Amino acid sequence: MKKIDLVIIGGGPAGLSAAKMAAESGLSSLIIERNFKIGGQLVKQTHMFFGSEKQYAKTRGIDIAKILVNDVLKYSDMIEIMTGTTVVGLYKDKVVTLLKDEKYIKVKTKAIIIATGASEKVLAFEKNDLPGIYGAGAVQTLMNVHGVLPGHNVVMVGSGNIGLIVSYQLIQAGVNVLCVLEASSEIGGYKVHASKLKRLGVDIKTSHSIKKAIGKDYLERIIIGKLDDKWEFIEGSEEELIVDALCISVGLSPLSNLLSMIGTEMKYVSYLGGLVPLIDENYETSIENVFVAGDVCGVEEASSAIVEGYLTGLVVAKKLGYIHPNYDKLYLDFKAQLHNLRSGPFGEKLRRGLEEIMR
């Protein structure tokens, strides 16, 4: 059995930052990444980030990914990276089982940081499985990673930041975005993203949703409708649109299945996107030496995931006896950064959600 002190599950912003900070403290780790390359969802995000300089604000997501990957590669003697590898089992005695190219591998570890991120939510409507219906994140991957257009005439469902940003990127790629639908009476994302779309003439229809998709072998048309204050379709408000792709962007839910598998205490918190683990102030779950970082314990921005990664990497290293020379200063700094990122009116629901999962 392979033995390593720290296993980090997920090679996105949280996992990479955790590995870097652990290595800086003197602790070696193994990063396990399901995708063929590390960087997480940042590798497809061509827009610039907000936040402060410490979380690489005003830098494009793809460039932040490069910075984080390079940081990790600098410690190639301490950080082992396994890509194309899926965690298939997690056990209470801290054995992690992996599958890589049909090879089943067992790893015994002392601490685990789960940084698996989140997955896209879906909607239930008629013919919701027709080819041409995508998650907005999937469309972003198709376009920005693989260079493939999802269609020529697209409708976006959901006006959160992902829906707004992907709509804008579709237009940049030459796609006609007919409209953005938003079930709520208000636009979900930041005004700056919504304004960019409005300037390009894209209609953001609030209190509207997708009613059904139509098509034989692939998506050909959709029926949309207006919603009343109980989110029921208003009769007679239906409208038919000719589209060849539909993007669903109705939020993310934390990928917390592995935590459920190992039996950590969990709670469903809608403000955080779904089922999340209870954590203490250092992101340790109810099982000792099992930590979480990033969207898996509440859906936020990549900037928060980076800082949570740094924080857990720092704390785990100390618990295993590797104390960073600047531990106290860094600890306070990471805590302050997280506090700042969650301040203001947009962070209110998040702050309430996080209060609910504190152990």
Partner 1 sequence: MNKKDVIICRCEDVTLEELHNLMKEGYTSFEEIKRILRVGMGSCQGNTCGQLIQRELANFTNTPINKVVTHKVRPLFAGVKLKSIVKALDDES
The first and second tokens of residue 270, run together, are: 């809608």
Piece of 96-104, 147-155, 171-179, 301-309 that binds partner 1 (CB under 8 A):
96-104
Interface with partner 1 in residues 195-234 (CB under 8 A): 212
* Residue of 70, 91, 352, 355 that binds partner 1 (CB under 8 A): 91
Q: Which one among 121, 226, 335, 342 touches partner 1, defined by CB under 8 A? A: 121
Using CA atoms, how far apart are residues 202 and 124, in angstroms rounded to an integer? 25
Tell me how far apart the alpha carbons of residues 161 and 159 are, in angstroms, rounded to a whole number.
6
Residue 126 binds to partner 1 (criterion: CB under 8 A) = yes
Q: Express the helix, strand and coil content of the chain in percent, nearest 5 each.
A: 35, 30, 35
Q: What is the DSSP string of 244-267?
A: SEEEE---EEE--HHHHHHT--EE
User: Does residue 124 bind partner 1 (CB under 8 A)?
Assistant: yes
Of these, 125, 190, 327, 331, which contacts partner 1 (CB under 8 A)? 125
Q: Judged by CB under 8 A, does residue 138 bind partner 1?
A: no
**Strand 103-114 relative to strand 290-292: parallel, antiparallel, unpaired?**
parallel
Structural contact between residues 164 and 193, judged by C-beta atoms closer than 8 angstroms: yes
Please identify, using beta-carbon distances, which residue of 77 and 102 lies nearer to partner 1: 102
Q: How far does the chain reach from its first CA to its final CA, in angstroms?
A: 33
> Residue from 46, 59, 128, 282 that binds partner 1 (CB under 8 A)?
128
| Position 237 contacts partner 1 (CB under 8 A) | no
Paired tokens of 271? 């403000």
Pick one of 5, 35, 50, 89: the residue that binds partner 1 (CB under 8 A). Answer: 89
Shortest CB 125 distance to partner 1, Å: 6
Cα separation of 227 and 207, whole Å? 5
Quick one: tokens of 303? Answer: 């900037």
274-313 positions binding partner 1, by CB under 8 A:
274-275
How many CA atoms lie less than 13 Å away from 237 in the CB half-sphere? 15
Residues 20-59 interacting with partner 1 (rule: CB under 8 A): none
Query: Does position 267 bind partner 1 by CB under 8 A?
Result: yes
Element (H, E) at 88: strand 85-90
Q: CB of residue 129 vs partner 1: minimum separation in angstroms? A: 4
Region from 37-45, 94-102, 154-162, 183-191 binding partner 1, contact rule CB under 8 A = 94-102
Residues lying near partner 1 in the complex (CB under 8 A) are found at 1, 86-91, 97, 99, 102-106, 119, 121-122, 124-129, 212, 253, 255, 257-258, 260-261, 267-270, 274-275
